[in-house]
Structure 1
Amino acid sequence: MPSHPFRRPVPERTYRRPRVTLFHVIRRTIMKLVDMQVWDVAGSMAFYSLLSVVPAAIAVVSIVSLLGLEDETVHTGAELLHELLPGLNPDVVTAALLALANTDGGVPGVVLGLVGSIIAASNVFASFHRAMHRIHDTREGRRFLWFRTVIFFETLTLMIAVIAVLLLVLIGGGLSERLGDLLGLPATTVAAWNLLKWPVILALIVFAVTVAYHWGPNVVQPPFRWMSWGGLAAVLTLFAMTVLLGWLAERFGTFDRILGTLNGLVVIMVVVWISYIVLVAGAAFDAELLRGRQLAAGLPAGDVLQLRTRHTGVLEFLDEDTARARATARAVAQSARTGEPVTMPASPWLAEADTFWSIDSLDRVVSTGRPYDAGDRAG
């Protein structure tokens, strides 16, 4: 009996040179995101991002407090955040940052804030790497300390890049005109920069996302390209979200004015969560597009992408441990079924049934049947 009795039969067709379509790639991307539960992955990234905000703010405010520039810098930073996130009230941000500035953290505040923000932000990178591994059908293969060291420097690089992008955003409007007057630049040059500022920033962000997609998973990717379709789609989607937020804020007012300060912050966190979903979706699209190209080249990429694993140390250790655990499990189950003794190397993982540390069934119902297997349906 067919599994879908009410589905209309589809006529067959002979394809001389069959290839998967873009619609197939999009569908496989969606199913990949559902299978990996992307909402949980993005949730962990958003959570660690939230943890990194407070120590980063403490570090920045402590630095400008030591320089005696907290009032001017805090107001400028609040206006910058309002330009990036129009739904956020700059007065609320200013009050919060000035409250941090009045705590007089000094040098310890700078050090603790920087260390805390880097550690918290590095967890975002770790979550991103795990998402890239799952998308590319692999796992992390580097030792823990080496992996965390790499993540640390990746976080530092991202922070420097974010500061550079924020400076590009800041050098616009009235500030660009003042800088142009100071440097003696003609007004046409300043106007051209104000016009080209956002395309330049978008191009830099697309390049950064493409680099992250290329080096994030534990696989050796095909030759690097300056732009990936998934990265471009993700960045354009995020930019459209920012424009939409700006339109909503201009039409209805800031989030905290509509929903209250706390609910406004919740909305911002939801936006961050959705942004991470979009970011992971772009990587999944690139992976499924590569899968389609590998299939067109005759490679067996239907189940696993045909990409060489870059780091294998931890993977080899886990495989060896899994093999030992399975051998132990088979020996115990076979002896329980047949009642025959088994001979194996002495190990702390095995003991006689009557010892204190042994795990016995205690004559209880310990199984409710076999788990689901796709092979059962095929059969």
Structure 2
Amino acid sequence: MSALDDAPATGSKQARKQTAQQQKIVPSTVTTLVTVESPAADVDPWARGNRLRKDSWGLVMRRVWADFFHDALMDRAAAMTYFTLMAFAPTVLAAYSIATLVFSSRRGEVEALTTQFIETYVPRSMAEEAGNIVSSIIGSTREGTFALVVSVLISLFAASAYVRAFSRTANTVYGRVEGRGTIRTWALMWAITVVLVIGAVVVLCANLLRDTVVDSVIEPVALRLGLHGTVDFFGGIFMPVWNWLRFPITVVVALALIAVWYHFAPNVRPSRFRWITLGSVVALVTNLVVWGAFSLYIKYLAGVSIYGAFGTVMAVFMTVWLSNTMLILGIKIDAEVLRAKELQLGLHAERYIQAPPRSEFAAQQQVRAKKKLEERSGRIFAYAARGGQ
């Protein structure tokens, strides 16, 4: 082949090389610390006077929509679903142990409430199997008070993996890495898990306290103890009022649990603790819709599905995934509302939310580790640039 034949090929290689040099990427991580512009002591982004304008609401909705897909938040919800399933058994054991510790002299009543819960909320096709699973999980709680306390601590530590997964997702939503040390983070996530499990026990007990439970559990015990006035009080006064208060109390407790979760999970130090936020309300309402749809599936479709129990299991997985997605959506809304409020105060929150971190110790260590890796990579590149000499 002649030199003229080689020219086009050489030119095309140079063109491809030039084109390759012009291609660009968006880095997924940074190796530098970013200084946030904390507001003055008398400036609060959450002040009543700092209401979002119309254009700010538009920014919130656009950023939530764009970042929800760019940050792969549904994938992170899938990861949280995995930890949900892994934490199921420890959480059940912890909840049952807490209930047994509180009602240590009423173990039979606790078991009756557990059976009542399975009969009420678990499909008939899976009720027996669910009962066997729960019985095997709670079998270790018959070892005495000390063993119960130990099992609670260990079970809550195992269940906190789910809370830690949510904390990592929350940091991604706020556009930062974890700055708290490992011991501090794990201890805080364990404490949040304790609060969430206790709150879940309260919510479950509140929803299980119905006329059937009073008639089958509380009334026989009260009559054996001669507490006839208690029976009359529960049946004639308390239960009619409780039937009206059950749902509002459940909503209030659920909002409080979400508020605690949203406040302490991310590496963000807000100016104040807020019991009710737009994100927490959205998360709660959408979760009610998701679990309501699941209950309708169990009631009308689970028994006639050609997939049987397998279809029910898949429905559970899908419901848990959607539930976690809605929880992430809620904290994303709160983060973008905070960003918009900071922008209205003149803070440079266009790229990074300016709320200060709870700690930057671990973040500094991570930056130093990445810089060392980059320096080592640079030495390899320099060696190659010198022709291997």
**Selected match of 1:171 from 191, 200, 209:** 209
Query: Which residue in 1 is equivalent to 2:20?
Result: none
Shift of 1:323: 2.9
The 1-side partners of 2:377 and 2:282 are apart by 47
Query: Which residue in 2 is equivalent to 1:94?
Result: 131
**Selected match of 1:238 from 282, 287, 309:** 287
What code does the residue aligned with 2:267 have? Answer: N
What code does the residue aligned with 1:34 have? Answer: F
Q: What is the RMSD computed on CA atoms of the aligned residues?
A: 3.6
Query: Which residue in 1 is equivalent to 2:89?
Result: 54
Shift of 1:269: 2.2
The 2-side partners of 1:101 and 1:128 are apart by 27
What code does the residue aligned with 1:79 have? Answer: Q
The 2-side partners of 1:112 and 1:262 are apart by 35
Q: Secondary structure at the match of 1:282?
A: helix
The 2-side partners of 1:61 and 1:190 are apart by 27
Whether contact under 8 Å (2:116, 2:208) holds in the other structure is: no
- CA deviation map 1:289-348 (0-9, x unaligned): 222222222222121111112111111122223333334434543454356xxxxxxxxx
**Selected match of 2:200 from 155, 162, 184:** 162
Between 73-82 and 217-226, report the one with greater CA deviation: 73-82
The 1-side partners of 2:334 and 2:212 are apart by 40
CA distance 1:78–1:30, shift in 2 (3 Å): farther
Q: Secondary structure at the match of 1:20?
A: helix
The 2-side partners of 1:292 and 1:76 are apart by 47
CA distance 1:93–1:331, shift in 2 (3 Å): closer
- CA deviation map 1:259-281 (0-9, x unaligned): 32343223212211111111011
Query: Which residue in 2 is equivalent to 1:118?
Result: 156
Q: Secondary structure at the match of 1:184?
A: helix
CA distance 1:117–1:43, shift in 2 (3 Å): farther
Query: Which residue in 1 is equivalent to 2:246?
Result: 197
Query: Which residue in 1 is equivalent to 2:366?
Result: 318
Shift of 1:173: 3.1
Whether contact under 8 Å (2:64, 2:336) holds in the other structure is: yes
TM-score (norm 2): 0.70
Query: Which residue in 1 is equivalent to 2:64?
Result: 29
Uncovered stretches (5+) of structure 2, i.e. residues with no partner: 1-51, 220-228
How many residue pairs match? The answer is 322
What code does the residue aligned with 1:168 have? Answer: A
Query: Which residue in 1 is equivalent to 2:37?
Result: none
Between 275-284 and 28-37, report the one with greater CA deviation: 28-37
**Selected match of 1:298 from 329, 339, 346:** 346
Query: Which residue in 2 is equivalent to 1:372?
Result: none
CA distance 1:124–1:230, shift in 2 (3 Å): same
The 1-side partners of 2:306 and 2:116 are apart by 19
Uncovered stretches (5+) of structure 1, i.e. residues with no partner: 1-16, 340-352, 355-379
Query: Which residue in 2 is equivalent to 1:377?
Result: none
What code does the residue aligned with 2:313 have? Answer: L
Query: Which residue in 1 is equivalent to 2:317?
Result: 269
The 1-side partners of 2:119 and 2:59 are apart by 40
The 1-side partners of 2:136 and 2:246 are apart by 33
Query: Which residue in 2 is equivalent to 1:361?
Result: none
The 1-side partners of 2:138 and 2:263 are apart by 40
Whether contact under 8 Å (1:49, 1:120) holds in the other structure is: no
CA distance 1:53–1:194, shift in 2 (3 Å): same
Shift of 1:136: 0.6
> 1:4-153, aligned counterparts within 5 Å?
20-57=55-92, 60=96, 73-74=110-111, 76-81=113-118, 83-84=120-121, 89-98=126-135, 106=143, 114=152, 117-153=155-191
Whether contact under 8 Å (2:279, 2:334) holds in the other structure is: yes
Whether contact under 8 Å (1:206, 1:232) holds in the other structure is: yes
CA distance 1:274–1:87, shift in 2 (3 Å): farther
What code does the residue aligned with 2:200 have? Answer: V
Q: Is 1:250–2:287 an aligned residue pair?
A: no
Between 232-241 and 113-122, report the one with greater CA deviation: 113-122
CA distance 1:318–1:62, shift in 2 (3 Å): closer
Q: Secondary structure at the match of 1:259?
A: coil
- CA deviation map 1:137-169 (0-9, x unaligned): 111112212222222222222222211221111
CA distance 1:48–1:197, shift in 2 (3 Å): same
What code does the residue aligned with 1:211 have? Answer: V
- CA deviation map 1:10-63 (0-9, x unaligned): xxxxxxx98635344223113222222223322222222212223455674899
CA distance 1:55–1:334, shift in 2 (3 Å): closer
Whether contact under 8 Å (2:348, 2:354) holds in the other structure is: yes
Q: Secondary structure at the match of 1:92?
A: helix
> Normalized per residue, which structure has more helix?
2
CA distance 1:283–1:18, shift in 2 (3 Å): closer
Whether contact under 8 Å (1:135, 1:283) holds in the other structure is: yes
- CA deviation map 1:159-184 (0-9, x unaligned): 22211221111223333575795272
> 1:333-344, aligned counterparts within 5 Å?
333-334=381-382, 336-337=384-385
